[in-house]
Amino acid sequence: MTGASGAIKASGDFKTAAKGSKARDRRPAPISIRFNEAELALLSECAKGDALGPYIKRYVLDRHRAMGTAKRKPLSKQQEAIARALRGLGKSGLSNVLGTLLLAVEEGRLPIERHEEAELRRAVADVAAIREGLVAALNIRECKQR
């Protein structure tokens, strides 16, 4: 057809063809993550030469699958008590307070005697040891941060 209606029809067909089939699934939008230089260096080191995109995808999805399939046994009464103690230690903020005090001593903002500083350092170490013992008793694997 060569009339105006033919041009409209052809134009409409072209637009439909350009849009693609509605039955065809659209690809999801890509995810963009920004990393600083140190994070990129760490990722590159962990990827051991692999491309970072596939490495990150594999790492995240493999961990998710592993976590989803692991069956956890219910905690025993003893483990529940240990977990409560660990939770209480974390909620108390004791580690942070002691660390802040020690930093103030090291920077000279809190003048104390040498033996008091040694006791403060022991207290920081003791709290860390208590936490490590509780974590070990619960057999929890921790993610170490750099």
pLDDT tens per residue, range 18-31 = 665 555 668 888 88
Confidence of residue 145 (pLDDT cuts 50, 70, 90): very low
In this predicted structure, the answer to whether residue 119 has a pLDDT above a threshold of 80 is: yes
89 close to 131: Cβ distance less than 8 angstroms: yes
Whole-number Cα distances in Å, 72 to 66, 109, 139: 12, 48, 12
Percentage of the chain lying above the pLDDT 70 cut: 73
Closest CA to 79 of 137, 122, 22: 137
Highest mean pLDDT among 39-53, 69-83, 85-99: 85-99
Predicted local confidence at residue 140, as pLDDT: 76
Looking at residue 117, its pLDDT comes to: 95
Confidence check: pLDDT of 93 > 70: yes
Stretch 32-39: mean pLDDT: 89
pTM, to two decimals: 0.49
Instruction: Measure the CA–CA gap between 87 and 105, rounded to whole angstroms.
Output: 28
Q: Is residue 59 very low, low, confident or very high in pLDDT (cuts 50, 70, 90)?
A: confident
User: Distance between CA atoms of 79 and 52, rounded to whole angstroms?
Assistant: 39
Check: CB of residue 43 under 8 Å from CB of residue 35.
Answer: yes
Q: What is the 3-state secondary structure (H, E, C) of 48-99?
A: CCCCHHHHHHHHHHHHHHHHHHCCCCCCCHHHHHHHHHHHHHHHHCHHHHHH
Q: How confident is the model at residue 146 (pLDDT cuts 50, 70, 90)?
A: very low
Q: What is the pLDDT of residue 10?
A: 52
